[in-house]
Amino acid sequence: MTTKKNIGIKGLLLSLLFPLAINAQQKATVSVLPSADSPVINKNIYGHFSEHLGRCIYGGFYVGEKSTIPNTNGVRNDIIAALKELGIPNLRWPGGCFADTYHWKDGIGPKQDRPTMVNQWWGGVTEDNSFGTHDFLDLCETLGTEPYLAANVGSGTVKEFTDWVAYVNHQGKSPMSELRKKNNRDTPWGVKIWGVGNEMWGCGGNMTPEYYANLFKQYSTFMTDWNNSDKLFRIASGANVADYHWTEVLMRDIPRNLIEGVALHSYSFVEWEKKGSSTQFDEAQYFKTMETALKMEELVTKHSEIMDKYDPAKKTALVVDEWGGWYEVEPGTNPGFLYQQNTMRDAMIAGTTLNIFNNHADRVRMANLAQTVNVLQAVILTENDKMLLTPTYHVMHMYKVHQDAKLIPVKFTSPEYKLADKSLPALSVSASEKDGKKHFSIVNIHPSQTMTVELDVKALNLKNASGRIVASGKLQDFNSFADPNKITEKEFKDFKLKNGTLTVTLPAFSVVVIEAK
């Protein structure tokens, strides 16, 4: 029989043991398997997204040429400098849902003569078209990044679409090239990456995949490469999360010579209808968010398997051109502007998602974080003349070493992060090599336990190493305008390289990148 005294002793023992359990370390062994057949991690996996949504463009990127905030042709100089340092390989514009209501000719010519429109998708605000094709493509030139134009299929025409292609790409004499020259741009920009509509299963027109596949073939047929050099990279509007039938139809019905990429959209959240606060969340909400984030592994695997059936040579890329965390907007802000803060939870989403993309580099060859400035999982936030870099920015900055590097496959069994009756892999790893350097990006998503990771790197013959880390005291920590550097990259030294084993000790909820040679 259990006495009250025994219950008291048991409770005391549990209270003493629980902190030890929280601080206990878990261990994992990672086999590093270099292979001559490994794919290159396409730099375009590290792409970004800029939609006419909330304060992404206006009040974010673009403040206007007359602004007192230092700018180049109306675009903030501090944002230009930050994105140059980040090394963004491509930038998607103008949407998103906005793309299928956007008529590009409204955004060219003298700004005072441009017509206005109502942004029906995002807040019902009036769009004055002061940031248009020239502004965006000139910005991409300044950044040294590849433009990705998402064009209007939902409410546009084939002629409108192909006129845009000619306007930005045609070198010779034609109505569209003459119009471009009239607008003070003699040489074409040579835009290669084109989205043929966006979310055609939803805001792009609520279409069936069979109907859209036929539309795509029509638009793709009339897209001419006016550069007469490299082919255009035509991306079909792809599946919403686990809609595998959508991918099946596109791959089955669209000939390989008409398509270069199939898109996929998937966001991370607590619950779709009740997304929760971006900063005030408990462990259960964190667990649910990471559960949807790590679902990306399954999505990429299953969509790739369908693509492999029709395209075993992997000529068509899987393009995850919208991904990231999605929560309720910050209190007091316009619900249609999707402005949210960015915590260590978002650093976990970024680190694990990019590791998944790296490890699937044979098929995933482009992706776009949603979005760049002031919207969803942004890398930059602004407030009047102030600007800050989010934890997601710092993770992507550490990870830029993987761009165009050769994948080094890894194999391991992850320790578990358990909560109630569910569990998630606590560890995420990817590795690559470039210019004689090897990089290992490692994420520990566990909110309370340290992770010791032993990487067997004997085959790489490494001699020395250094490290960087993104970490903080609480999962809910974020950079504010009052404290913009609360979370930054820091030097990381809690590792050792000895006898062909790289032993790394990761704090709870941290992202580490080790460089070795």
Amino acid 121 reads: W
- Please list, in sequence order, all residues whose beta carbon lies within 8 angstroms of the beta carbon of residue 432, skipping any fewer than 6 positions away: 41, 358, 401, 402, 405, 406, 407, 408, 438, 439
Give the phi and the psi of residue 285 in degrees, each rounded to 5.
-70, -40
Strand order in the sheet with 501-506: 410-411, 25-32, 450-456, 501-506, 495-498
Q: Which CB contacts under 8 angstroms, 24+ apart, belong to 425-430?
A: 425/294, 426/26, 426/451, 427/28, 427/451, 427/453, 428/351, 428/352, 428/355, 428/356, 429/30, 429/355, 429/453, 430/354, 430/355, 430/356, 430/358, 430/359, 430/402
Quick check: helix, strand or coil at residue 219? helix
What CA–CA distance (Å, rounded) separates 199 from 30?
A: 38
Respond yes or no: is residue 141 known to be catalytic: no
Please give the sequence-ordered ranges of beta strands (E in DSSP) within 254-302, or none if there are none: 261-268
What CA–CA distance (Å, rounded) separates 341 from 476?
A: 10
In sequence order, which ranges of 391-437 are alpha helices (DSSP H)?
391-399
Contact predicate 475/382, CB 8 Å: no
**CA 331 from centroid of its chain's CA atoms:** 25
Quick check: helix, strand or coil at residue 377? coil
**CA 214 from centroid of its chain's CA atoms:** 29
472 is written with which tokens?
């903080």
Per the rule left: phi > 0, alpha: psi between -120 and 50, beta: everything else, 54 is: left
Respond yes or no: is residue 199 known to be catalytic: yes
Overall residue count recorded for the chain in this entry: 517
Residue 362: DSSP 8-state: T
What CA–CA distance (Å, rounded) separates 376 from 378?
A: 6
Q: Which of 51, 322, 433, 489 is catalytic?
A: 322
Strands 465-470 and 490-492: antiparallel
| Residue 514 parent element (H or E) | strand 510-516
**Considering only CA atoms, which of 360, 358, 352 is closest in space to residue 512?**
352
What CA–CA distance (Å, rounded) separates 513 from 262?
A: 30
Q: Which of 199, 260, 433, 489 is catalytic?
A: 199
What positions carry a catalytic annotation? 199, 322
